[in-house]
Amino acid sequence: MTRLPSLSALRAFEAVGRTKSVRAAGDELSVSPTVVSRHLQNLQLDLGVDLVEPRGRGLSLTPAGEAFHAQVTQAFDLLRQAVRETRPVHRDSLNIWCMPGIANLRLLPRLPELQEKLKGLEIILQPTLSRPDFSRSEADAEIVYLKEPPPERALRSELMARPRVFPVASPAFVARYPGLGKPEDLLALPLVHEESTEQWEEWLHSTGIASVPPLRGPRLWHAHLAVEAARLGQGIALANRFLVEEDLAAGRLVEVVPSDVRLGGYYLVVPAGRWRDPAVAVLRVWVKDILSEGSGTDALNASMATNS
């Protein structure tokens, strides 16, 4: 009988092949990038073939890796299906994983509404940057910011909102740099980044800047820390209205230059087999209402008018 590689190594390889990033795979699997890299190395040694190769800031699959990844993905899909068909179904709770900023600022204030609509269920809201393993029933639903819908066939998703992403800073910071009016004016200023400069680079390219020089500024890993640094006058952060609407309305932050860039969207993701579940249907309507594009426009317009 052929000896199989470790399941952990296969899971790490599947996640890296799908996300093209060791760090993103680690976040999804709730392990460090070092652990993911070790799994990849051990798997390649075990199989005696290179499966991944560096490309830019991430990784890409070799031809052998592409073929193996397709088969591993199919095998995991079969395992997930077997687990779903075997595991008893309990419907006494609704476990929602959500990005912390949206959970704290948007969902939590209106959580009693959802509880009223789903009186028979215990609502569990878990703010987290990790991705749930639906095959292990870690969550019933997920609200996550993605560039594209998740590709897994075992999942269903719906776009809840695709908010504009724009640069924000404290009024005091902006006052130190008079004359800011277009994205090019930001290139020489301190820009606050999350885990890398990639989001800022993508945003600047989307505004029409073809060549982006090396960018300055601290890396703070999480969006809420980047926004807090902007409030404290430490630089310019990228945000959307869901994260900074109150700060804009209160004058703690202002939009630095006008723009109309959308880099991704908030998706509600659930297992495909739960898509028509009555509780999930209620959740979908509730989340979409909270994240409706109609709210928050006045605060943004007021901020832009103040800064113009």
- Domain coordinates in residue numbering, the chain: 7-86, 94-154+269-291, 166-263
CATH superfamily assigned to domain 166-263: Periplasmic binding protein-like II (3.40.190.10)
Lookup: tokens for 275:
């898509």
Position 301 scores a pLDDT of 41
Say which CATH architecture domain 94-154+269-291 belongs to.
3-Layer(aba) Sandwich (3.40)
Listed residue (68, 260, 54, 267) closest to 148, CA to CA: 267
Listed residue (76, 189, 175) closest to 134, CA to CA: 76
204 Rama sector, left if φ>0, alpha if ψ -120 to 50, beta otherwise: alpha
For the segment 171-182, what is each residue's pLDDT rounded down to a tens digit?
999 999 988 889
Confidence of residue 232 (pLDDT cuts 50, 70, 90): very high
- Helices (DSSP H) in 30-154: which residue ranges? 33-47, 63-86, 100-102, 111-117
Task: Provide the whole-model pTM.
Answer: 0.66
Please tell me if the domain spanning 7-86 has the same topology as the one spanning 94-154+269-291.
no
Lookup: tokens for 62:
């070799």
Residue range 7-86 in CATH 3.30.420.10: no
Confidence of residue 304 (pLDDT cuts 50, 70, 90): very low
Q: What's the average model confidence in pLDDT over 259-270?
A: 93
Task: For residue 155, list its beta bridge partners.
Answer: 271
For the segment 83-131, what is each residue's pLDDT rounded down to a tens digit?
766 765 556 889 999 998 899 989 999 999 999 999 889 999 999 888 8
Burial (CB count <10 Å: 0-12, 13-18, 19+), residue 188: exposed
